């Protein structure tokens, strides 16, 4: 039933188009992220409303809109299975904004759409804060603000260049305030209320347990795990083992971190000395760890210092007191070589244990090596030789293993990724009577010359073993190197290995374009790293550092508010002066240029007198500052030409402009 709605407002088509475009721009991240079906349907809705407007027809009736809204919300519920949480919330926001656009029957609706657009931008940053998204923010805010200015211009209902320019000016003027507030607005650690369950989903990283196939999953991800800066030169590739969770508990298939009593925590660097005896040169590093929603922190093998807010397990694993949900920076001192400090694992220590149902073939193989060897080191060598000489294959897509994975791997499939070799090797050592454990972490890293740091990606995830030797303590043994020695020097090439399963390694740029590409990637990553450091990671600690650099150490909340206020007032005064300053009223461009010239003369100490003609001024310049006379003469001659010649030459104004510009 069509009832006349006298209050209906038909927005001009141009405005409608601009509104639709800026809405799409604001919702772009969500439109690209959500299932394509939804995006397609939403765009159809938008197009439908535009088509209605083009035919001069009003927005659809309330009933139809309610029906469509219910259908859309239902669709989102089906796609996401929930309303609450980050993903469905963002999808709903975009959908409801589009339904508001379909409604659009009052100027106030358009105003509300602009606000919804800004809100969409904010929500988009909960998913990603990349540099690209930062650039997109600027563009989208500008577009939305331009449409907003159009909405507020009672006499020009269509978007114009003037509106876009004014919006740009508003944004530029907002930058100083943005900087001030960004730097000084009091930052509080931690959320105000609990975040939805999926707030931290989608982050990748090593977990605190290992099963066959877990790490090879990571190998497909180019995502950055962390970046490291060193005080000195970066360690050689063979030493770039990044220590993560140390796994000692196993049921033969799954490996887990052994629990640690509170009393065993090493909470300071001094405590760390109890379990290790540093040897050789320390390596000082600053890590920027991407959030992985776990408690472990990574560090160069082996960490010997304890950063703030963390502690060290006796097996030399760094643990953060809270889950790492934000990018975190910390400094660690590591020693690539350490001596024995702690006592040997006890006779019934879990690093000696193996499951009772361990494949008898494994047990027999290990015991055979033990019997033939004259030292523990010989057992290790024998195991590595075994991997090297038997027909073992290093692959990203190993066959699935059944109930008895180690036995099947060692004697049947013989195809595996690093976690298979590390797990099998560790169990072999334990079966041979040597205490051993699995260490997971990362191996390698790409040196970024543009930013002088090392990038370690998820694809560098690795697992190796540590064996207890009486004279040396825990010794790192990497069985993978027995099968694929090039793994140490090179990174795994992600794209190629996915399809074939064969592991291929990055060869450092052999061809020119490869090198150029690599360099571009590195420069981009260096930008990203700075963006992370200076924009995204500006939190309570950095704010404190910044303030103490300003000479304001230990500023309280209240002090910060006061400082902010004290700086805000002059800033606002400055802005007000800029906006409200009297404008140059001369319309004639020649007069304006001549005034610019006079101001420049003033800088040279010559003050043009009121009533002084240009010719008199020139005479005075010749007498007092002859050096300036030629350039000033050119300006004055051209100005007079423009003023007094009945028909000045066409390019006279341009000539005057050049002469004034040349006069410094």
Catalytic residue among 315, 462, 525, 529: 462
418 as an active site residue: the answer is yes
Of 529, 435, 478, nearest in space to 241 by CA: 478
Active site residue 296: no
Listed in sequence order, the residues at least 6 apart from 123 whose beta carbon sits closer than 8 Å to its beta carbon are 30, 89, 90, 93
Q: How far is CA 187 from CA 182, 307, 325, 569, in A?
A: 9, 21, 16, 21
Size of the site for other proteins (CB under 8 A): 60
Nearest-5° angle of CA 493, CA 498, CA 504? 35
- Decide: helix, strand or coil at residue 441: strand
**Least separation in angstroms between CB 646 and other proteins:** 23
Query: The tokens of 352 are what?
Result: 């000696």
Q: Considering only residues 37, 66, 82, 177, which one is a binding residue for other proteins as defined by CB under 8 A?
A: 177
Q: List beta partners, residue 283.
A: 334
CB of 340 to other proteins, least distance (A): 43
Taking the least distance from each CB to other proteins, the nearer of 270 and 586 is 586
Bridge partner residues of 296 (DSSP): 319
Determine if 7 is a binding residue for other proteins (CB under 8 A): no
**Contact residue for other proteins among 356, 549, 580, 627 (CB under 8 A):** 580
Catalytic residue, chosen from 418, 420, 525, 529, is: 418
Token digits for 279?
Answer: 């040897």
Q: How do 461-469 and 473-477 pair as beta strands?
A: antiparallel
567 binds other proteins (CB under 8 A): no
- Distance between CA atoms of 464 and 21, rounded to whole angstroms? 53
| 359 tagged catalytic | no
**Minimal distance, residue 169 CB to other proteins, in Å:** 8
C-alpha 444: how far from chain center: 21
Q: Does residue 606 bind other proteins (CB under 8 A)?
A: no
In the bound state with other proteins, the residue whose beta carbon lies nearer, of 183 and 249, is: 183
How far apart are CB 574 and other proteins at their closest, in Å? 11
Touching other proteins, residues 216-275 (CB under 8 A): none
Q: Is 149 in the site for other proteins (CB under 8 A)?
A: yes
Contact flag: residue 388 with other proteins (CB under 8 A): no
Closest approach of other proteins to the CB of residue 250, in Å: 37
What are the CA-CA distances from residue 278 to residues 52, 191, 267, 336, 433 (Å)? 76, 39, 18, 9, 27
User: Is residue 170 a contact point for other proteins (CB under 8 A)?
Assistant: yes
Interface residues for other proteins in 518-547 (CB under 8 A)?
535-539
Of these residues, 301, 315, 359, 478, which one is catalytic?
478
115 is a site residue for other proteins (CB under 8 A): yes
Residue 574 binds other proteins (CB under 8 A) = no
CB of 556 to other proteins, least distance (A): 18
Nearest in space to 23 (alpha carbons), one of 107, 93, 126, 108: 93
Q: Which two tokens stand for residue 261?
A: 């009593």
Nearer to other proteins, 77 or 181 (CB): 181
Q: Which residue has the tokens 């997109």?
A: 136
Under the binding rule (CB under 8 A), the answer on residue 154 touching other proteins is yes
Could you give the C-alpha distances from 213 to 224, 384, 418, in angstroms and in order?
20, 22, 10
Residues 317-356 that bind other proteins (CB under 8 A): 326
Residue located via tokens 């930008």: 527
For residue 367, say if its preceding peptide bond is cis, omega within 30 degrees of 0.
no
Q: Least distance (Å) from other proteins to the CB of residue 81?
A: 22
Cα atoms in the Cβ-side hemisphere of radius 13 Å centred on 311: 13
Kindly state whether residue 360 participates in binding other proteins, applying the rule CB under 8 A: no
The answer to whether 566 contacts other proteins (rule: CB under 8 A) is no
With binding defined as CB under 8 A, does residue 178 bind other proteins?
yes
Minimum CB separation of residue 95 from other proteins in Å reads: 19
132 binds other proteins (CB under 8 A): no
Near other proteins by CB under 8 A, which window of 25-33, 184-192, 315-323, 590-598?
184-192
DSSP string, 207-260: -SEE-TTHHHHHTT---EEEEEEESSSPPPGGG-EEEEEEEEEESSS-EEEPP-
Catalytic residues: 418, 462, 478
- Judged by the rule CB under 8 A, the positions of this chain that interact with other proteins are 111-112, 115, 118-119, 121-123, 125-126, 129, 133-134, 137, 141, 145, 148-149, 151-155, 166, 169-171, 173-178, 181-182, 185, 187-193, 195, 199, 326, 535-539, 572, 575-576, 579-580, 582-583, 585, 587
């Amino acid at each position: 039933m069509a009832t006349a709605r006298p209050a209906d407002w038909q927005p001009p088509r141009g405005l409608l188009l601009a509104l639709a475009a800026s809405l799409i721009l604001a919702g772009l991240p969500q439109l690209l992220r959500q299932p394509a079906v939804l995006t397609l349907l939403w765009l159809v809705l938008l197009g439908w409303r535009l088509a209605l407007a083009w035919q001069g027809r009003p927005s659809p009736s309330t009933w139809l809109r309610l029906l469509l809204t219910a259908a859309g919300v239902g669709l989102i519920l089906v796609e996401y299975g929930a309303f609450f949480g980050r993903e469905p919330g963002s999808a709903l926001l975009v959908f409801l904004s589009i339904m508001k656009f379909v409604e659009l029957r009052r100027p106030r609706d358009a105003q509300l759409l602009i606000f919804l657009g800004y809100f969409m931008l904010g929500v988009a940053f909960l998913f990603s804060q990349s540099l690209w998204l930062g650039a997109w923010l600027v563009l989208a805010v500008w577009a939305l603000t331009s449409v907003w200015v159009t909405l507020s211009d009672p006499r020009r209902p269509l978007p114009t260049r003037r509106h876009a320019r004014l919006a740009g000016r508003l944004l530029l003027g907002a930058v100083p305030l943005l900087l001030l507030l960004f730097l000084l607005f009091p930052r509080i650690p931690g959320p105000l209320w609990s975040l939805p369950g999926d707030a931290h989903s989608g982050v990748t990283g090593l977990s605190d347990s290992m099963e066959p196939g877990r790490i090879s999953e990571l190998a497909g991800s180019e995502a950055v795990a962390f970046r490291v800066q060193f005080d000195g030169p970066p360690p050689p590739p063979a030493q770039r083992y990044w220590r993560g969770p140390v796994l000692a508990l196993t049921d033969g298939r799954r490996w887990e971190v052994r629990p640690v009593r509170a009393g065993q925590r090493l909470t300071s660097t001094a405590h760390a000395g109890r379990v290790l005896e540093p040897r050789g040169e320390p390596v000082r590093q600053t890590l920027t760890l991407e959030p992985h929603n776990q408690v472990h922190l990574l560090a160069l093998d082996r960490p010997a210092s304890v950063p703030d807010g963390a502690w060290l397990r006796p097996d030399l694993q760094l643990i953060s007191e809270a889950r790492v949900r934000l990018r975190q920076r910390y400094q660690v001192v590591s020693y690539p070589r350490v001596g024995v400090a702690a006592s040997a694992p006890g006779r019934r220590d879990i690093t000696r244990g193996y499951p009772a149902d361990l494949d008898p073939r494994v047990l027999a193989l290990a015991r055979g090596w033990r019997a033939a060897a004259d030292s523990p080191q010989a057992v290790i060598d024998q195991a590595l030789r075994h991997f090297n000489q038997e027909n073992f294959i290093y692959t990203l897509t190993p066959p699935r293993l059944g109930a008895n994975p180690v036995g099947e791997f060692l004697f049947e499939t013989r195809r595996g990724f690093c976690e298979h070799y590390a797990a099998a090797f560790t169990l072999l050592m334990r079966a041979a009577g040597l205490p051993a454990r699995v260490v997971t972490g990362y191996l390698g890293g790409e040196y970024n010359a543009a930013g002088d740091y090392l990038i370690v990606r998820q694809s560098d995830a690795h697992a190796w073993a540590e064996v207890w030797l009486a004279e040396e303590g825990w010794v790192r043994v990497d069985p993978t190197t027995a099968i694929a020695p090039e793994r140490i020097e090179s990174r795994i090439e992600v794209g190629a290995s996915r399809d074939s399963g064969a592991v291929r390694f990055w060869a450092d740029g052999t061809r020119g374009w490869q090198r150029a590409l690599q360099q571009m990637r590195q420069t981009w990553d260096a930008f990203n790293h700075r963006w992370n450091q200076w924009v995204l990671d500006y939190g309570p600690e950095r704010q404190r550092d910044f303030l103490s650099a300003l000479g304001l150490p230990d500023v309280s909340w209240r002090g910060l508010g006061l400082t902010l206020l004290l700086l805000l007032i002059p800033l606002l005064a400055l802005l007000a002066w800029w906006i409200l300053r009297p404008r140059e009223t001369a319309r004639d461009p020649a007069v304006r240029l001549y005034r610019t010239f006079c101001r420049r003369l003033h800088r040279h100490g010559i003050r043009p007198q009121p009533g002084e003609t240009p010719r008199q001024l020139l005479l005075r310049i010749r007498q007092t500052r002859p050096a300036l006379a030629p350039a000033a003469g050119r300006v004055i001659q051209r100005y007079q030409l423009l003023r007094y010649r009945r028909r000045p030459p066409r390019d006279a104004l341009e000539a005057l402009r050049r002469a004034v510009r040349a006069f410094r």
